[in-house]
């Protein structure tokens, strides 16, 4: 949305219950940093999910082996 604005537009930032004027460059910088942070968090959670999936798969394999050994022992 910020890309659609020109220098004649006024940008406001919400600080508590008050709207305060903000420079366009400052607003663009703030938004880009937030997007970088969110993207980084998404990547971190995706990696964490992959690690958990790998761990879960290893646990399933171990469980399968133990079940086979138990069946053989009976």
Residue 6 pLDDT level (bands cut at 50, 70, 90): confident
State if pTM tops 0.75. Answer: no
- For the segment 41-60, the average pLDDT, to the nearest whole number, is 97
**Contacting residues for 28 by C-beta, under 8 A, at least 6 apart:** 2
pLDDT at 62: 96
**Contacting residues for 73 by C-beta, under 8 A, at least 6 apart:** none
7/24 Cα distance (integer angstroms): 8
Residue 73 pLDDT level (bands cut at 50, 70, 90): confident
19/21 Cα distance (integer angstroms): 7
Greatest extent of the chain over all pairs of C-alpha atoms, in Å: 82
Query: Which residues partner with 21 through β-bridges?
Result: 12
């Amino acid at each position: 949305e910020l890309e659609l604005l020109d220098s004649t537009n006024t940008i406001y930032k919400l600080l508590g219950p008050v709207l305060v004027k903000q420079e366009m460059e400052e607003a663009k910088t703030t938004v880009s940093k937030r997007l970088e942070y969110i993207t980084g968090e998404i990547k971190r959670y995706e990696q964490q999910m992959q690690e958990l999936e790998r761990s879960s798969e290893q646990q399933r394999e171990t469980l399968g082996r133990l079940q086979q050994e138990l069946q053989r022992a009976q």
